[in-house]
Structure 1
Amino acid sequence: MTNKDLGKDELLRKLEALQEKCDFLERVVQEVPANIYLSDFKEGVIWCNKTNEQSLGYTLEEIKAMGTMEYMRQIVHLEDLNIPKDSVTHYQEYTGAEYGGMFRAKHKEQDTYKWFMGWAKAFCHEQDGQVKSIICVDVDMSPRMNTEKQLIEALRENLAQKNQLLINRLSKREKEILNLVCKGLSSQAIADQLFLSVHTVNTHRRNIQASLGTSNVADLVVLGKEAGLG
């Protein structure tokens, strides 16, 4: 056998080993007990694994034909639609490695919603560094929530994440003032501590309430404390 033949055989062995590795990884991705999908900010969902198709009832082709937002409206509970939207906003406007939240979703042929814990991470970037697409992993938590206490704790954590995302939209000064409001300081005390006028502090407080959608100080404090302030 010539050196050329030996080299060819070695190349074939490497290709076979690579194919085996690819087949193994493909099986892992397709059979892992979690919904995995790639979402491009311009094109929407561009890939998903078999678990995602089986647990929600829509093939990748159907998802692409519907459009990502219509697909989300079909599967995600109306009260939780902010989760996928906030995930996109998070990567378009804020820094951070990953974003997560709990939401309810259902199979297209079923009426019962299940609780999912979803996590997303930047996957591809544009040349200017902006996130182009994210990889998302959603795990069905329903079988793992055997007690009401577990569900309450999971929902509490999810609420804290939602509120933290809202607070991230505030300016640095607004966050400072909100933190002091959550500590129980009056507008005058905040003004004295930050060397501002009371009028400026009250203006900031009105802007904070408008940004967070709260109608009174009590709701504002609750939201801030749930996000870890105060």
Structure 2
Amino acid sequence: MEETRNRTAEETELSMKLKALEEKCAFLERIIHEVPANIYVSDLEEGVIWCNKTNEETLGFTLEEIRNMGGLEYLRQIVHPEDLHIPDDSISHYQEFTGAEFGGVFRAKHKARKEYNWFIGWAKAFLHRKEGQVKQILCVDVDMSPRMNTEKQLIAALQENLKHKNQLLLKTLSKRETEILTWVCRGYSSKAIAEKLFLSIHTVNTHRRNIQNRLGTSNVADLVVLAKEAGLG
């Protein structure tokens, strides 16, 4: 009899814990699906493998449609052609992950509409392979268009995004290249930089060509603008 009572008490306690766990899961699931942001998990090889209801409602594609379509075609359907480099940059960033998270501003639209809205997105490593490489990333995109009261706010957001992107570019430079670029931003000629750093003019010019190639600029003016937008100089 005592054993039966103990078993009943244990089963009751277990049932209560299970109910509490189910309620907690239901509560968290509701938050995830109702939060005013597109939340999704993207596999670096397969594309989007999960998304919340807000993502489906905002862009018009169900998760099943997204997975059947494939990641590349899905992006072509929703992202503005001029901004397709943003998700590509994100994938490239995490394929060579250095520890920094990735963010960007881009335009995307609902499949049934022609106009694009501005989104700000952020991603972080979510799942790693045994070897340590990033396999999946967790992404959060917020539609800024209805939340921007003025054009000034949108411009400020875009400028901040450009600054972040340029900072990531500058991180690809070596210490010496960054040093030379700093002096270029201050208006120093190759000869003056060479004298200051005790280098030959040929070495300085070689570094300057490498810097421009790496940052994708075609002239000194663009190079200086990029560096200053990133906070250098």
TM range (shorter): over 0.9
Identity among equivalent positions (%) equals 71
Partner of 1:228: 231
| Residue 124 of structure 1: how far off its partner (Å) | 1.1
- 1:45 equivalent to 2:40? Answer no
Select the residue among 146, 169, 174 that pairs with 1:171.
174
| Residue 160 of structure 1: how far off its partner (Å) | 1.0
> TM-score, normalising length from structure 1?
0.95
Select the residue among 158, 161, 166 that pairs with 1:158.
161
Select the residue among 8, 27, 31 that pairs with 1:5.
8
1:61-93 deviation per Cα after TM superposition (whole angstroms, max 9, x unaligned):
111112112111111111111111111222222
Q: How many Å separate the matches in 1 of 2:65 and 2:84?
A: 20
Structure with max Cα Rg: 2
- The question of whether the paired residues in 2 share the 8 Å contact of 1:105 and 1:114 is answered with yes
- The question of whether the paired residues in 2 share the 8 Å contact of 1:106 and 1:113 is answered with yes
- The question of whether the paired residues in 1 share the 8 Å contact of 2:97 and 2:133 is answered with no
Amino acid across the alignment from 2:33: Q
> TM-score, normalising length from structure 2?
0.94
Q: How many Å separate the matches in 2 of 1:224 and 1:94?
A: 23
Partner of 1:136: 139
| Residue 27 of structure 1: how far off its partner (Å) | 0.5
Note the 1:176-215 alignment, pairs <5 A: 176-215=179-218
- The question of whether the paired residues in 2 share the 8 Å contact of 1:30 and 1:51 is answered with yes
The CA RMSD measured in Å over matched residues stands at 1.4
Residue 2 of structure 1 aligns to a residue whose secondary structure is helix
Select the residue among 40, 59, 82 that pairs with 2:62.
59
Give the gaps of 5 or more residues in structure 2. none
Residue 18 of structure 2 aligns to a residue whose secondary structure is helix
* Matched length: 230
- The question of whether the paired residues in 2 share the 8 Å contact of 1:90 and 1:165 is answered with no
Q: How many Å separate the matches in 1 of 2:12 and 2:19?
A: 10
Select the residue among 133, 145, 151 that pairs with 1:148.
151
- The question of whether the paired residues in 2 share the 8 Å contact of 1:97 and 1:122 is answered with no
- 1:89 equivalent to 2:72? Answer no
